[in-house]
Structure 1
């Protein structure tokens, strides 16, 4: 891996993202719109509102980054950009980790804006700090980036990339503890949820709700998420095709 080539690619990806107003609007505006909807749905029950808002601050970045990165990589392949890039010394890991860094920076902006709105406008109340919420949200976003890049290797069209949502994304959301606490699930479902990295990210967020300082359980959940990010990027590099056949 070359740090110079990687950072050059980070700059290129950020430049493309900056000029793609629809993607920027999706990444920044969609979470705010959905958080507003959640607020008015649960405003009469502050306890439930705080729980749902906190969890969704971790789920929205994961979902949106999965969509954006899987489609972005597919476009790079279909347009022939990857073929041209790989005629240079740029390696697959350089490219994919550059995508992770670029979209991680975008996710940091997204998570900071959404968390600020949740605390200041919607009165989100947690024992821990908002900075920890942003940290976990960015980790979940990077998980979405890694899985999006991995899944894009198996898609030929943007429509096929979106079809991975019900297979890869929705089960993780359903088993994350959003609807039913994981400890209250049937034994086999709780076991399946243990294999879902997003569930550990949500567990880390729930630690922030009740603890003023970062706990060992929080760092455990965050570590699992980040470990899965690295694994997904490595697997994506192993399966990446230079162009769509």
Structure 2
């Protein structure tokens, strides 16, 4: 892997997205609108104060997963990846370039979502807003890396969507949004404890409530980082040149 090739790939992806207003809207605006919708639904209750941090984890994660996986798959189906890999561009350069490009977008998306949730929707943060921002970025990068992993195995956009029940929905169900994990059956609690979205939700909730120290939160960020690194490595090793 050569940094200049990775940066060139990232620049190409960002240039393509800049010319696609719908994708920009999906990435930057839709997560905030969904968070706002949840806040509006529970406007007369204290529910949003409880589940708001989880929404900051959930919606950017899903959006980044979908956009990244479909965009990467399109490169294979159009033959672009095959042409790129015929040049001195390795799979690692391609995956890291995409990770960098969507990582930059994830930072912007997170800034918009966190600002909207706190300033417009009234989500109260007892801990550090900067720490909330860091955890939310890690969560969005997690969606990006898992999207890259899914695109390495999928053959069509429809199959990418089918990966959501396998990679996304279990994390939502077992992440503690609907029921605290310690109230789940023991087997499901154990599975949930090993899923990265659970740790993102835990960390964001801890920052919002101010109940945990920074070491607790950084351990969860480290766990999420291990999942991100693993997904990138597996995705780069299994990426095919072209989908038939």
Does residue 62 of structure 1 match 2:33? Answer: no
Q: CA RMSD in A?
A: 1.3
* 2:72 matched residue in structure 1: 73
Matches of 1:135 and 1:61 in 2, distance apart?
13
* 1:233 matched residue in structure 2: 232
* 1:14 matched residue in structure 2: 14
Does residue 43 of structure 1 match 2:47? Answer: no
Equivalent residue runs for 1:108-123 within 5 Å: 108-123=107-122
Q: Shift of residue 237 of structure 1?
A: 0.7
Matches of 2:24 and 2:211 in 1, distance apart?
33
Q: Shift of residue 212 of structure 1?
A: 7.6
Matches of 1:124 and 1:69 in 2, distance apart?
28
Matches of 2:55 and 2:218 in 1, distance apart?
19
8 Å CA contact 2:132–2:208 kept in 1: the answer is: no
Q: Shift of residue 228 of structure 1?
A: 0.6
8 Å CA contact 1:132–1:208 kept in 2: the answer is: yes
Q: Shift of residue 130 of structure 1?
A: 2.1
Matches of 1:40 and 1:228 in 2, distance apart?
33
What's the CA shift string for 1:141-164, capped at 9, x where partnerless? 111111111111221111111111
* 2:137 matched residue in structure 1: 138
What's the CA shift string for 1:189-232, capped at 9, x where partnerless? 11010121111111111110222885211111110111110100
* 2:222 matched residue in structure 1: 223
* 2:94 matched residue in structure 1: 95
8 Å CA contact 1:100–1:146 kept in 2: the answer is: yes
8 Å CA contact 2:138–2:221 kept in 1: the answer is: yes
Matches of 2:76 and 2:195 in 1, distance apart?
29
SS, match of residue 29 in structure 2? helix
Q: Shift of residue 74 of structure 1?
A: 0.7
Matches of 1:58 and 1:173 in 2, distance apart?
10
Alignment CA distance shift 1:82-1:121 (3 Å): same
Matches of 1:122 and 1:56 in 2, distance apart?
12
* Structure 1 length-normalised TM: 0.96
Matches of 2:202 and 2:21 in 1, distance apart?
33
Q: Shift of residue 35 of structure 1?
A: 1.3
**What residue ranges of structure 2 are gaps of 5+ in the alignment?**
none
**What residue ranges of structure 1 are gaps of 5+ in the alignment?**
none
* 1:83 matched residue in structure 2: 82
